[in-house]
Amino acid sequence: MAILNILKYPEKSLSQPSVNVDVIDDKIKQLIKDMGETMFHDAGVGLAAPQIGINKRILVYDSHAMDPEYEEETREITALINPEIIATYGSFISEDEGCLSVVGYRANVKRFERVTVKALNIEGKKMEFDADGVLAVIMQHEIDHLDGVLFIDRLSPLKRSMYKKKRLKELKKEQ
């Protein structure tokens, strides 16, 4: 397994929609394992393939992240291939949402309370499930990545502009 490089805003490829996976072969399965290891290494609860520069509709998440008695030993990677949200219910504010690709910024984001997701699992079997609470946020956040949307794109223009200016200033200092 390998720790992969996570792309950071303003990387242009993060705003590109991803393509469906046609074949789930050993290469895709290894990519999923590497994505899981990368996600845990960077203390994330979800990671989408575009965040590591792969323009494919694949995401991984920690299926125990929503457990109120979460312990690091219970971490478990779940992969979804070609996921899509097929139904949404209610709305609420996801408080203090962050992203491995959006450095040093957290914000409140309007999300759906519950979503129904359909996808393929790592074995290529069709699946459909309802997600609410933390899992609903993870699904919406990661599927947004697959559609070329960052959580900052869901903020007010003022908040988004403030983050962009701050980030570009940080990047200039690093050069």
Kindly list the distances between the CA atom of residue 65 and the CA atoms of 37, 39, 42, 116, 150, in Å, as whole numbers in the listed order. Answer: 15, 12, 14, 18, 21
In a domain, 4, yes or no: no
Tokens encoding 128:
């459909």
In a domain, 5, yes or no: no
* Domain containing residue 122: 12-174
Q: What is the pTM of this model?
A: 0.94
CA dist 46 and 135 (Å) reads 10
pLDDT in tens, the chain (175 residues): 699 999 999 999 999 999 999 999 999 999 999 999 999 999 899 999 999 999 999 999 998 776 666 566 667 899 999 999 999 999 999 999 999 999 999 999 999 999 999 999 999 999 999 999 999 999 999 999 999 999 999 999 999 999 999 999 999 998 8
- Going across the sheet that includes 114-120, the strands are 46-48, 58-62, 77-89, 114-120, 126-132
Q: Which of 69, 72, 142, 170 is catalytic?
A: 142
The domain spanning residue 142 has which CATH number? 3.90.45.10
**Would you call 142 a catalytic residue per the annotation?**
yes
Total tally of structural domains belonging to the chain: 1
